[in-house]
Structure 1
Amino acid sequence: YLRDQTPDIPEANYVRSVDFCSGAFLMVRTALLKELTGFDTDYAPAYFEETDLCVRLNKYNMEVVYDPAVVVLHYEYGTSGNHESGQMMAINFQKFKEKNNTYIATKLQRSEHNIVKARSTRTPTKRVLFIEDYLPFRHLGSGFTRSHDIVTSMVEQLACDVTLYPVFRPIGMVEDTYTAFPDRAEVMWNKGLEDLAAFLHSRPGYYDVVWIARTHNAERLKPILAECNAALGRATVVLDTEAVAAGRTMQKLALQGETPQHSLEEMLQKEFRAAQVAQQFIAVSAQDAQTLRTLGLEPVNILGHQQQVRRFTPGYTNRHDILFVGAIHDLESPNLESLLWFVKDVLPVLEQILQEDFKLRVCGYMNPTIDLPELLAHPRVECVGRVEDISPYYDSHRIFVAPTRFAAGIPYKLHEAAANGLPIVASDILCKQVGWVNGTDIVAAQTGNPADFAQCVKELYQNRELWERVRRNALRRIVLENN
């Protein structure tokens, strides 16, 4: 499989269970190798002895695993010439077939279309083609963290074979292309939307599920899926809406003082006009699920955010300062809009009423074309950017702020901050999205009201009893709602 291809290609770079690996490099447990009495001497001096050993291991209910993280340089035919090797291969191939005829009979016939199925011996729960805007690195935020969690669960908990496929082709392979995802996920970093039709035709009948992340990708994929209908076979198309955007658009227009040209119902109809490409639908919240059902999109399942609670984190007296976490992809980002508003309108009020020294630290992916420190120029603001481990920031800050003024779906940042034991002040529109109780699970400030937001921050920052109550109850919420 993949002979004479470059070893960098995606198909060669994910871990899988196989029938056999080349004897150029094999590692076997000593005790197991002794139990099987090593290589079969009928193949001496060389060729097919390692193939035969791997087949015997598979018959013994042991896995033979191909691992691309292992790199060796093999000088082919280094111990014998091509002609001599060819003769020995032909002889030993016949021996191998005779010895393993029953095993071979259970395998697929060799063909161009079967080879993609034959490259792994494991029978997966499902084969899933997972299509996202970009490869869902966790640091990108904006729904990509949730997509990453879904892919990880599919691979590690559900034993699915997953192919990650981006709509927008990445510009080259970056350092963490493979390390960021489960090692048994196939990551198609060298392809994009323009390659998808040919890709599907090259794998006819291979996938059980085509998972489309984000509603807008349904429209992009609709003509391609129609063209590749035969190649898709009986694959189920799932549309994971991630967030219903129409309401957020209405909020943004109202914030800007603009009158919408269309009603909410008309905007929803437009947003979901290509949704019929799917047979099943995923919503991120009960509220979004109801919207889909109102539009006649069934069946709908709810898949929210996954969080693991950190129970033992520093207490109130060992913490200082205010934390904001969120990715900023462009100048239209809701995160950027909320930060600019917080620094311009809330910080001046907060400085007057808090009357103690504090910093606002901003963590998260930042588009390198945006000069965030310049946009947020303020002596109390510190732009940290993307960090590999955000836990120390959650552990050292006293409160988390989410001053969002227009939003859709449910805010991952609230669940993550709460799971890390950091109490939150958030706009009331976010509190409604997660369904948490003001003063119990979270502190809710009036959306877009600087004085109220500043007062809420002051209260949570300085009131230890409130701080401990909110932290305790938010942790309980995560345990109940985000397993």
Structure 2
Amino acid sequence: MTTEYQTQSELIRALQEELADKKRELALQRRAFEQVLQSRSWRLTCRLRWVAKQLRTIKDAVSGLLGKSQPVDSGAMIEAAPISPAAAMPVSDPKKLFTSLSRTSFESFLVSEAVLELPSSPDPEVSIILVLFNRSELTFACLRSIAETYSEKIEVIIVDNASSDETRLLLDRLRGARIIRNRENRNFLLAVNQAAEHARGQYLLLLNNDAQLLPGSLRAALATLRGRPDIGAVGGKIILLDGTLQEAGSIVWRDGSCLGYGRGDTPFAPSYMFRRDVDYCSGAFLLTPRSLWEQLGGFDESFTPAYYEETDYCMRLWQRGYRVVYEPGAAVLHYEFASSQSVTGATGLQSAHQLVFAARHRSALDKREPPGIGRAIHARMRHNGRRVLFLDDQPPHPWLGSGYPRAHAMLRAFLKHGCFVTLYPLFLFDEEWSKVYSDIPRDVEVMIGAGPDKLEPFLRNRGGYYDFIIVSRPHNMERFQPILAAHPEWFDKTRVVYDAEALFAHRQAGRRKVSGNPMSPRELEGALRAEIRLAAGADCVVAVSEQDGAAFKRHGIKNVCIIGHSVAPAPTSSAFEERTGFLFVGAVHEEESPNADSLVWFLTEVFPRIQEKLGAAAPLTIAGVNRSQKIRELAGPSVRITGPLADLTSLYAGARVFIAPTRYAAGIPHKVHEAAARTTGVDRPGTGHRRYRRRFCRTLCRGLLGSRQVGKASRCGPSSHHHRMLAGHVREKGL
């Protein structure tokens, strides 16, 4: 009877633990959904979503009659087959609408007595080259975009190829541009070379007259090119008038044919938001150093009148050891084929010039991918290093805490060793791209919005693409493991690494202990076995500490390596007299987290006693994500809650004592590492990794570090705050 009762009790406790975990996951998803609805991007794109829906309705109706081309599926990453220019032409309605609006705007300009002022620097950094042949209304829209969005030292050089429409009237009303009027149509290629001879800028920007610069584009392209002598050209995102992609960098296949990567897809899908080296970028927007242009002799006249000239130019850059880079922050809105006499004629020129191009670059093309829908993912970037897929809850912003500083350091280590990295966040949440890449390097692909439901099709369509898959945290391994077991053929050439991050069973045991319901040794062993069982099928397990690594080995996992934290010393220079108060830095994502528990305990049991002794001389600052209502309610006048901050230097420089009152946790607390590196005195009552207790026990009060007793903590807090020699000793030992 007793044995049966114990078994039932253990089952009830296990179910309670599982229920608590599900509640936490539900709270995270609910919070993510609320963030989507409240986000600035959701509100701002309300009308855009409505317009896009109407355009899709029109496009679907017309496509049903004309035949619909298949776009790239950004969610599952199914690349599209090469599309001929004729089939790729968007439906006419967006072009007609844009032409009508541009014509109305241009005619209003002509009727007025206004002039169009273009930027004209006496010492230009960039020379923008425009070649015109009719379509004055589109040229006017292009010139207005330059006048409205520029922020650099530029000059505009215009070559008019004997236009027969109102282009002459437009040019007469321009100020600031350098204008070359040809008596005959020299066509695009020769006119570009002609304009470049007059350029004074350090860089040339080739811009089509049927394209409009979008805000920040030139600045983003310049930021990528400046100070990088190994880059020969930078291109951007080319967006069609219906709001879909024309290309996000382009692919050259082995036979010399080309594919605009992403054609037909949404421009802001994750696959087009990261910087990468590509075969070539469209001449509709192409930034290149003038010195390189002159060394290569500009566009090769073999491709006169047009088509394949920029492809050939970029290929010659690669042959000379220069990179061609796609910059997602640069973008233009493109009409496409505006100056062509007919789509059929343009297609014929492309076919003829493909043969010339293929013959000229045969040896280089032999190393490229053969054309095919399944190879676009492999051909979309030029990269010879290892490819890594990183599965985690969300992008590892260091300010999130909870193991993300370590994940962020691992990410940068991969990049430093020449790896390409795709981050796949398994939590669905809304985060603006500027925030995603605020501290994530721009050459990392971040699959925002894919989530757990799209993981399996994503892995299927990228089977064999990655050399390594890093799965972080137990609940993510639970999602990944069934896919690995069901489809081992997808991972034949891939090594799977389980980054345990920490053994969470220890955290559960600690939480149970402080709540007065401790785990029995049998329960703890069962929880450890269940968690460690997740490593089955992984080629390697990464643990955060020697203690966790030993636990994995003890349970039969042989290939275990240790990756802990690495924090560079960054001592603050403030004198002891210039500092005051206590500091806590850490993320509180939910009420039941270790950080929430530690702060509630400290604010309830310890801090009031410290204030009795020190009064206003002992303020407490709490920095980091804080979603705990209880902590906000407990924070009195002497407690300041800052939320997440980009730079914590001033807080570390102004505090005398850093507190880490952890009562239970798993892994190694990064906050203690960082505080030691900043050389703020660290008081860490409670439990945690024994190595830290050994490090600081001779420097700080033994009672404070080795005990959860309120009395000892409240006695040692004031001494740590007021003892100058102790503070100096802690700073020295911390470094």
**TM band (smaller chain):** over 0.9
- Pick closer, same or farther for the CA change 1:204–1:348 going to 2, 3 Å: closer
The counterpart of 1:178, out of the listed 416, 437, 441, is 437
The counterpart of 2:468, out of the listed 209, 231, 244, is 209
The answer as to whether partners of 2:580 and 2:617 remain within 8 angstroms in 1 is no
Say if 2:725 is the partner of 1:458: no
Partner of 1:400: 658
1:159 and 1:238 mapped to 2: Cα distance? 18
Structure 1, residues 87-136: CA drift from partner, whole Å, max 9, x if none? 22121111111111111111111122221111111201x21110002222
SS in 2 for 1:14: coil
- Pick closer, same or farther for the CA change 1:236–1:443 going to 2, 3 Å: farther
1:365-384 maps to which residues of 2 (within 5 A)?
365-367=625-627, 370-371=628-629, 374-384=632-642
After TM superposition, give the deviation of residue 202 of structure 1 in Å. 0.9
Say if 2:519 is the partner of 1:260: yes
The answer as to whether partners of 2:396 and 2:405 remain within 8 angstroms in 1 is yes
1:64 and 1:133 mapped to 2: Cα distance? 33
Partner of 2:132: none
SS in 2 for 1:271: helix
After TM superposition, give the deviation of residue 54 of structure 1 in Å. 0.5
Partner of 2:404: 144
1:318 and 1:377 mapped to 2: Cα distance? 24
The counterpart of 2:688, out of the listed 430, 441, 445, is 430
Structure 1, residues 64-108: CA drift from partner, whole Å, max 9, x if none? 111111122222112224232222212111111111111111111
The answer as to whether partners of 1:250 and 1:264 remain within 8 angstroms in 2 is yes
Partner of 1:364: 624
1:312 and 1:406 mapped to 2: Cα distance? 29
SS in 2 for 1:98: helix
Aligned residues: 471
Q: What residue identity is the alignment partner of 2:273?
A: N
2:635 and 2:462 mapped to 1: Cα distance? 52
Partner of 1:480: none
Partner of 1:329: 589
Structure 1, residues 278-308: CA drift from partner, whole Å, max 9, x if none? 1101111111111111111121111111212
> TM-score w.r.t. structure 1 length?
0.93
- Pick closer, same or farther for the CA change 1:271–1:373 going to 2, 3 Å: closer
More helix by share: 2
Partner of 2:510: 251
SS in 2 for 1:238: strand
2:438 and 2:612 mapped to 1: Cα distance? 46
Partner of 1:317: 577
Say if 2:446 is the partner of 1:194: no
- Of structures 1 and 2, the one scoring higher in RCO (CA 8 A, sep 6+) is 1
1:257 and 1:79 mapped to 2: Cα distance? 78
Structure 1, residues 179-208: CA drift from partner, whole Å, max 9, x if none? 331111100002111111101111121011
2:401 and 2:419 mapped to 1: Cα distance? 24
1:25 and 1:421 mapped to 2: Cα distance? 50
After TM superposition, give the deviation of residue 401 of structure 1 in Å. 0.3
The counterpart of 2:383, out of the listed 101, 122, 125, is 122
SS in 1 for 2:285: coil
The counterpart of 2:368, out of the listed 107, 114, 133, is 107
2:476 and 2:660 mapped to 1: Cα distance? 28
2:433 and 2:399 mapped to 1: Cα distance? 14
Partner of 1:281: 541
Fraction of identical pairs, as percent: 34
1:157-172 maps to which residues of 2 (within 5 A)?
157-171=416-430
Cα RMSD of the aligned pairs, angstroms, is 1.8
The answer as to whether partners of 2:599 and 2:631 remain within 8 angstroms in 1 is no
The counterpart of 2:357, out of the listed 96, 99, 114, is 96
The answer as to whether partners of 1:17 and 1:120 remain within 8 angstroms in 2 is yes
The counterpart of 1:348, out of the listed 585, 603, 608, is 608
1:295 and 1:105 mapped to 2: Cα distance? 50
Q: What residue identity is the alignment partner of 1:458?
A: P
Please, which runs of 5 or more residues in structure 1 have no aligned partner? 476-483
SS in 2 for 1:384: strand
Partner of 1:481: none
- Pick closer, same or farther for the CA change 1:305–1:172 going to 2, 3 Å: closer
Q: Which one has the largest radius of gyration? A: 2
The answer as to whether partners of 2:662 and 2:686 remain within 8 angstroms in 1 is no
Q: What residue identity is the alignment partner of 2:357?
A: F
SS in 2 for 1:68: strand
The answer as to whether partners of 2:667 and 2:689 remain within 8 angstroms in 1 is no
After TM superposition, give the deviation of residue 360 of structure 1 in Å. 0.7
